[in-house]
Structures are given as structure tokens and as C-alpha cells.
């Protein structure tokens, strides 16, 4: 599995840790930057990594900025992206299990090394459950396509 990984300057240290975790777990990490603590604009990095997922050049992505909020907002503007801002193991797990999130967004400022590892491990190992959640994800896709989600049936 290919994992796109990107950060702004405030998420740089966490990104470097995540790259190592992804590699240790046996996945291929694709680094979309940044390459230092020098200031960069998070939408630029979010766009590149989210487009890689959207175009199926990467299976999933992990994005890090100071709070994770900016990366999440920017990534969710790309068609086909379901980016989730997660702050703990449970939210990371549920974002995959219930929402089939394909991008994990994390706060570089507020997430310690131990929690960071646990979140990445659980997020990458959790499968989408389908079932009633599949219908809900299909409704999200309908909204993205400019359709009324209430018209999505149980089929």
C-alpha cells in the first residue's frame, strides 16, 4: 500500500516520525513535503497529497499541520477525498471503520510521539465496515456530485 505523507513547517517533525512508522509497518511512504521547518503554506501540500489519492497514485494519505484543521479543510476540497481530523486512537479508528476516510489529518503541535504512532497504526490497520456506513458514504459522494443525499437508496 502506498501512503502519501505531507506537512507544513509546523508538522514537519511529526511527518518525519510518521514516515518512519509507515516504513516500519511495511508500507511505501511518498513524501510530499515539506523538507524543513521553514514556513510553507499548508494548502499547497494538502493539494499535492490529496490529488495523489484522488488519482489513485497513493492509496491513502496522512497530513500534518499545526492543528490539522487547515490540512483537513484543504484536502476535503478535492473530489473523492474523505479527510478526517483525528486527535486520538478512537477517532482514527472510527474515521476508517465508519467513514472510509482516505486521509488522516493530525495536529503536529498537540500530538505526542506515542499517540502519533498509535493513531497511525490503528488508522492504517482498520478496514471500512461497509453495511449501513456504506450507504452514508454514498450519500457523502452524492453531495460531492451536487446531488441530494436523501435520494440515495438502500440498494
C-beta atoms surrounding 24 within 10 Å? 11
Q: Is 9 a catalytic residue?
A: no
Active-site option among 65, 72, 86, 105: 65
Chain mean position to CA 104: 2
CA distances from 80 to 46, 103, 115, 138 (A): 14, 10, 28, 11
Distance CA 119, CA 17 (A): 12
Q: Is 65 a catalytic residue?
A: yes
Active-site option among 72, 86, 97, 98: 98
Length of the chain: 155
- Positions annotated as catalytic residues are 65, 98
Amino acid at each position: 500500500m502506498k501512503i502519501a505523507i505531507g506537512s507544513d513547517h509546523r508538522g514537519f517533525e511529526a511527518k518525519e516520525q510518521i514516515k518512519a512508522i509507515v516504513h516500519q509497518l511495511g508500507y511505501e511512504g511518498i513524501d510530499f513535503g515539506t523538507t524543513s521547518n521553514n514556513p510553507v503554506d499548508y494548502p499547497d501540500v494538502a493539494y499535492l497529497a490529496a490529488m495523489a489519492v484522488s488519482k489513485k497514485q497513493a492509496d491513502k494519505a496522512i497530513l500534518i499541520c499545526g492543528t490539522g484543521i487547515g490540512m483537513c479543510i484543504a484536502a476535503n476540497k478535492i473530489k473523492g477525498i474523505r479527510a478526517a481530523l483525528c486527535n486520538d486512537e478512537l477517532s482514527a479508528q472510527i474515521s476508517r471503520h465508519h467513514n472510509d476516510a482516505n486521509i488522516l489529518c493530525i495536529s503536529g503541535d498537540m500530538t505526542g510521539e506515542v499517540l502519533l504512532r498509535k493513531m497511525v497504526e490503528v488508522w492504517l490497520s482498520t478496514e471500512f465496515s461497509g453495511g449501513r456506513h456504506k450507504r452514508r458514504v454514498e450519500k457523502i459522494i452524492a453531495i460531492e456530485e451536487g446531488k441530494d443525499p436523501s435520494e440515495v437508496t438502500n440498494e
